[in-house]
Structure 1
Amino acid sequence: MVRSTVKNSARKTSASPTRRTFLQQVAAGGLAVGPGAALLASCATGGDDDDDETDSGDGGSQADVTEDNPLGIAEDQPVEIYIFDGGFGDEYATQVHQPIFSEKWPDVEINHNAAVDIGSELQARFVAGDPPDFVNNSGDGSMDTAQLASDGQLYDLTELFDAPSWDDPAVTVRDTLIPGTIESGTRDGVPYVLNYAFTVFGLWYNKTLMDENGWPVPTTWQEMMDVCADIKASGIAPWVYQGVTAPRYMNWPLLTMATKLAGPEILVPLDNLEEGAWGHEAIRESAAALRSLKENDYFLPGVEGMEFRDAQGLWARGDAVFCPSGSWIENEEADAIAEDPTFELAMMPEPLLSEDAVMPLETIRATAGEPYLIPADAANPRAAMEYMRAMLSVEGARGFTETVTSLTSVAAANEGVEFEAPGLSSAQQALTAAGDNVINWLYPSWYPTLENPGIDQATGALLRADITVDEWVEQCEAATAEIRNDDSISKQTREA
């Protein structure tokens, strides 16, 4: 049985003050929470030599490392976790991960908390040097992970990834993960974030609706325009997107189609903040294609002013056919989809802009996401790493998938499994069909303010046809230059 306290419970810990960091300076605005937030600076002090157990020097108590306890967690110390109570909810933690952890460590008390706005809940505690041990840093109120890493506020997860896996001590944790998972949470060569959910991106639609009307799944952009004309003639809007809240969702098909056209090397200059990167001809062509949806009135009327859940809800209820999103959408819109028992959710890869495209139709964007981190000032980071190790077991990963309808970054948990959820099954099939043709770009995680509000605002204006493609490129270039010229932002680079 999992022992937990109520949300926002008082901290129960025997950590001594010598394990705390003390505030040196806080710029106006305090902790880095969300885009554009100010910096938090602090320094760590050493451990207390008088502890009954060996102090690890990392802010937590360490017991002896053994075969059964590879991370040396102290069994008499509680672990406090915060879960983002958003699209995935928190039942996967209380009903799956915590029971797995507690079966092995029954004496470790789990103080469970769920929060809708992670940043608001935890800002004061980070400032005070008293953060929880484990944070699911997600949602609109998430903390700026890049800034936290730059400020030394995140715990190095190398020891976790090098530890024996939960299921097979002969295999390390890192070797159980889909390639690219660790890299997606790495800054300056240090893995700070565990990206747990594995997201497949594409265009989502009601397969039943398409089949009943004889609308073929388009494979080229010309076919997409032809299908959109037929859909519009039937009285249904061909496309919806996430409105005023998140027009960035349309950046995903834009860059995916451009990459299929010209090859994955066009993404490297974007991530490396190179001047002129957004002006690549393939990116321009893809931007023009998406702008043409507005020019032909193929968007759901009024979508540009909607909140993202309102727009998606109308799509799920049959007011539109195509919706760009990640594979979380099946869980996020489960209630709306359930209103129509004939609704069969399916995913399609973005169509080719040209038959001469460099990459095949099956190419998709897929990446590890849903970030989990351990604060550098955590009182019990070793138990938090052990909790992550339990999450990364096959049982933990499959339990997560069954609970929230999302794949995970644990490779074995996704293999040879038949999923009842049609959308998830479709995403799994698309991932299999893609093979090695899986792409991703990193600038949104490296530079959150470049994506939002930077590129976000430009794409919103493009989709409203308020600006031309050339003006969109200019705005994207200006947003990139702002990040490139800001010496206070740590820069990352990637190879081609």
Structure 2
Amino acid sequence: MGSVTADNNGPEGVDRRDLIKRSAALGLISVPTMSFLSACASGGGGDSSAKDNEGTASKSNPFGVKKGSKLDVVIFKGGYGDDYAKQWEASFQKKWGVTSTHTGTQEITGKLQPRFNAGNPPDIVDDSGAQQIKVDVLNKNGQLLDLAEVLDAPSVDDPSKKVRDTVIPGTLDPGTFEGKVVALNYIYTVWGLWYSGKLFAEKGWEEPKTWADFLAICKDAKSQGIGGLAHQGKYPYYINVAIMDLIAKTGGLDAMKAIDNLDPKAFVGSEAAQAGVEAIYEVVEKGYLMPGTNGLTHTESQTRWNQYKAVFITSGSWLENEQLKTTPEDFDMKFLPMPVLPDSKLPFEAIRAGAGEPFIIPSKAKNLAGAKEFMRMMLSKEWSTSFAKAANSLTILQDGVDPSVKLRPGTQSTVEASKAAGDNTFRYMYVDWYSEMGAALEAASNELMAKRIQPKEWLKRAQAAVDKQAKDPASKKNRRD
């Protein structure tokens, strides 16, 4: 979610060529929120003023970038910061003579919804974080450019290849709606649990591979005055990482696809869903949550975790970079795939992985030529490596980062986990396809973690959210086989 409201990032190392070929990596995801863009739709192609920013197209300038034009860039300033984008903009100006207006913010909806409504959006947007304007809503309102022209353009590094042929397979899927790619999810992310290698060494704990072993560590921690599990209570997207991972690993890909495909038995009637939510609720019932975690923001919970007030926390691989300022030097951050319940169909090594941090080009952008070229250059090795150095995370570009760039401990562990997972990766699509449904699932989880509802009620509310979404005719256009 990008991460969530505030910050997100992670690091690197290892032979990146082998790493990316194996689809090992990390990144960020956009986080569903309770608010949605309720605005007037304004479809169609670019604004007529975009014509004023068009130069002459050529082989080396496929979109006709006009020297002296201006580019309006808005970046979610979360865990990845926005320094990487400033470096990109400086590079873009040097090459094309195009100056940029740069806005780094966490308030994407607050700053941009009025502009979209007025038909005066920026040229390119990193649309992420808790205040993200939902991509599915923007798309439904006809406010996003079909990125086919960018993806079918020649690669900056190898003009004999199309841009779309240079990205890790499957990474365009989250931004694809009704067969059109309208968002470029730029960062390759893994999600799961995290812990301190230093704390584990001090306590003599071993990495838990089963849920029973996980609970045993939580119990031991509680006896020593340490929380077992912290979560970012004000943003229940994070605890849903644990719940939904358990469902997918227990029931296999069929259980995951049932949710994405809005199956009438996605939750109620699903043994995997019941097992997953009951497992999380056991943590709540036994008092293994870090005290106060339900009322904290993501950075507040994560900072207390950095202070050894909890053993585990759920997050995506932006966590390490997001917490650079508060993580002790010897913390030794580690990534952990979700431990498995008995008779799980997917192995412990299986992880949720895929592309996050959606970049969009509004259909009414004033400098469409500049925006399209900017996105094309994002998928160059130069800009991909620049991002890795500044934000400590990998991009969706294959062989996209100089192998000499070194990874931090947490990011290194995600690399190793990704290699161990191999083909055992999975990725939910409902988060991208159905923001309203995602928000309803989060609201139910918020009630569950506060012990205001029981697992049976959670399943009932989750199924109601699925059934409601299934009634939307547009939902029939999205399906996983």
Q: TM-score, normalised by structure 1?
A: 0.86
- Secondary structure (helix, strand or coil) at the match of 2:262 reads coil
Q: Does residue 270 of structure 2 align to residue 278 of structure 1?
A: no
Cα deviation 1:388-430 (Å, max 9, x = unaligned): 1111112211221221222211121258556331111111111
Query: 1:62, 1:73 within 8 Å by CA — same for their partners in 2?
Result: yes
**Following the alignment from structure 1 to structure 2, what is the Cα–Cα distance between the partners of residues 126 and 401?**
31
Q: Give the match for residue 269 of structure 1.
A: 258
The change in CA–CA distance for 1:415 and 1:232 in structure 2 (over 3 A counts) is: farther
Aligned match of 2:178 in 181, 188, 198?
188
**Following the alignment from structure 2 to structure 1, what is the Cα–Cα distance between the partners of residues 51 and 174?**
25
Q: Give the match for residue 124 of structure 1.
A: 114
**What is the CA distance between 1:277 and its match in structure 2?**
0.5
The change in CA–CA distance for 1:372 and 1:362 in structure 2 (over 3 A counts) is: same
Q: Does residue 479 of structure 2 align to residue 494 of structure 1?
A: yes
Instruction: Supply the AA of the counterpart residue of 2:324.
Output: A
Query: 2:338, 2:348 within 8 Å by CA — same for their partners in 1?
Result: yes
Q: Give the match for residue 436 of structure 2.
A: 449
**Following the alignment from structure 1 to structure 2, what is the Cα–Cα distance between the partners of residues 90 and 494?**
35
Query: 2:36, 2:133 within 8 Å by CA — same for their partners in 1?
Result: no
- Secondary structure (helix, strand or coil) at the match of 2:443 reads helix
Q: Does residue 335 of structure 2 align to residue 347 of structure 1?
A: yes
Query: 1:60, 1:381 within 8 Å by CA — same for their partners in 2?
Result: no
**What is the CA distance between 1:173 and its match in structure 2?**
1.2
- Secondary structure (helix, strand or coil) at the match of 1:335 reads coil
Aligned match of 1:153 in 140, 143, 146?
143
Q: Give the match for residue 92 of structure 2.
A: 101
Query: 2:39, 2:117 within 8 Å by CA — same for their partners in 1?
Result: no
Q: Does residue 471 of structure 2 align to residue 485 of structure 1?
A: yes
Q: Give the match for residue 215 of structure 1.
A: 205
Q: How does 1:392-471 map to 2 (within 5 A)?
A: 392-413=379-400, 416=403, 419-452=406-439, 454-471=440-457
Q: Does residue 251 of structure 2 align to residue 251 of structure 1?
A: no
Aligned match of 1:385 in 340, 348, 372?
372
Cα deviation 1:25-63 (Å, max 9, x = unaligned): xxxxxxxx9734324123547987xxxxxx9xx866543
**Following the alignment from structure 1 to structure 2, what is the Cα–Cα distance between the partners of residues 375 and 436?**
35
Query: 1:118, 1:138 within 8 Å by CA — same for their partners in 2?
Result: yes
**Following the alignment from structure 2 to structure 1, what is the Cα–Cα distance between the partners of residues 46 and 369?**
16
Query: 1:239, 1:322 within 8 Å by CA — same for their partners in 2?
Result: yes
- Secondary structure (helix, strand or coil) at the match of 2:209 reads coil
Q: Does 1 or 2 have the higher relative contact order (CA < 8 Å, sep 6+)?
A: 2
Instruction: Supply the AA of the counterpart residue of 1:272.
Output: N
Q: Does residue 359 of structure 2 align to residue 372 of structure 1?
A: yes
Q: Give the match for residue 84 of structure 2.
A: 92
- The number of residues matched between the two structures is 448
Aligned match of 2:63 in 57, 60, 71?
71
Query: 2:37, 2:113 within 8 Å by CA — same for their partners in 1?
Result: no
**Following the alignment from structure 2 to structure 1, what is the Cα–Cα distance between the partners of residues 136 and 199?**
42
Q: What is the percent sequence identity of the aligned residues? A: 36
Which shifted more, 312-321 or 78-87? 78-87
**Following the alignment from structure 1 to structure 2, what is the Cα–Cα distance between the partners of residues 379 and 184?**
26
Q: Give the match for residue 38 of structure 2.
A: 38
**Following the alignment from structure 2 to structure 1, what is the Cα–Cα distance between the partners of residues 230 and 235?**
12
**Following the alignment from structure 1 to structure 2, what is the Cα–Cα distance between the partners of residues 82 and 134?**
6
Aligned match of 1:227 in 217, 230, 240?
217
Instruction: Supply the AA of the counterpart residue of 1:103.
Output: K
Query: 1:202, 1:347 within 8 Å by CA — same for their partners in 2?
Result: yes
Cα deviation 1:143-186 (Å, max 9, x = unaligned): 12111101110011001111111211122211111112111101
**Following the alignment from structure 2 to structure 1, what is the Cα–Cα distance between the partners of residues 419 and 176?**
26
Query: 1:270, 1:443 within 8 Å by CA — same for their partners in 2?
Result: yes
- Secondary structure (helix, strand or coil) at the match of 1:322 reads strand
**Following the alignment from structure 2 to structure 1, what is the Cα–Cα distance between the partners of residues 74 and 183?**
15
Query: 1:185, 1:193 within 8 Å by CA — same for their partners in 2?
Result: yes
The change in CA–CA distance for 1:125 and 1:36 in structure 2 (over 3 A counts) is: closer
**What is the CA distance between 1:482 and its match in structure 2?**
2.5
Query: 1:418, 1:425 within 8 Å by CA — same for their partners in 2?
Result: no
Q: How does 1:296-375 map to 2 (within 5 A)?
A: 296-337=286-327, 340-354=328-342, 356-375=343-362
**Following the alignment from structure 1 to structure 2, what is the Cα–Cα distance between the partners of residues 484 and 477?**
10
- Secondary structure (helix, strand or coil) at the match of 2:189 reads strand
Aligned match of 2:196 in 193, 200, 206?
206
Which shifted more, 146-155 or 221-230? 221-230
Structure label with greater radius of gyration: 1
**Following the alignment from structure 1 to structure 2, what is the Cα–Cα distance between the partners of residues 42 and 208?**
53
- Secondary structure (helix, strand or coil) at the match of 1:263 reads helix
Instruction: Supply the AA of the counterpart residue of 1:402.
Output: K
Q: TM-score, normalised by structure 2?
A: 0.88
- Secondary structure (helix, strand or coil) at the match of 2:267 reads helix
The change in CA–CA distance for 1:477 and 1:319 in structure 2 (over 3 A counts) is: same
- Secondary structure (helix, strand or coil) at the match of 1:278 reads coil
Cα deviation 1:339-371 (Å, max 9, x = unaligned): x221110101111112x3222211100111111
Runs of 5+ in structure 2 lacking a partner?
1-32
Cα deviation 1:100-152 (Å, max 9, x = unaligned): 323321x2222222223122212232222221111111122221211110111
**Following the alignment from structure 1 to structure 2, what is the Cα–Cα distance between the partners of residues 370 and 34?**
19
**Following the alignment from structure 2 to structure 1, what is the Cα–Cα distance between the partners of residues 310 and 401?**
30
Instruction: Supply the AA of the counterpart residue of 1:447.
Output: Y
Query: 2:66, 2:370 within 8 Å by CA — same for their partners in 1?
Result: yes
**Following the alignment from structure 1 to structure 2, what is the Cα–Cα distance between the partners of residues 313 and 394?**
34
Instruction: Supply the AA of the counterpart residue of 1:345.
Output: M
**Following the alignment from structure 1 to structure 2, what is the Cα–Cα distance between the partners of residues 47 and 151?**
15
The change in CA–CA distance for 1:455 and 1:199 in structure 2 (over 3 A counts) is: same
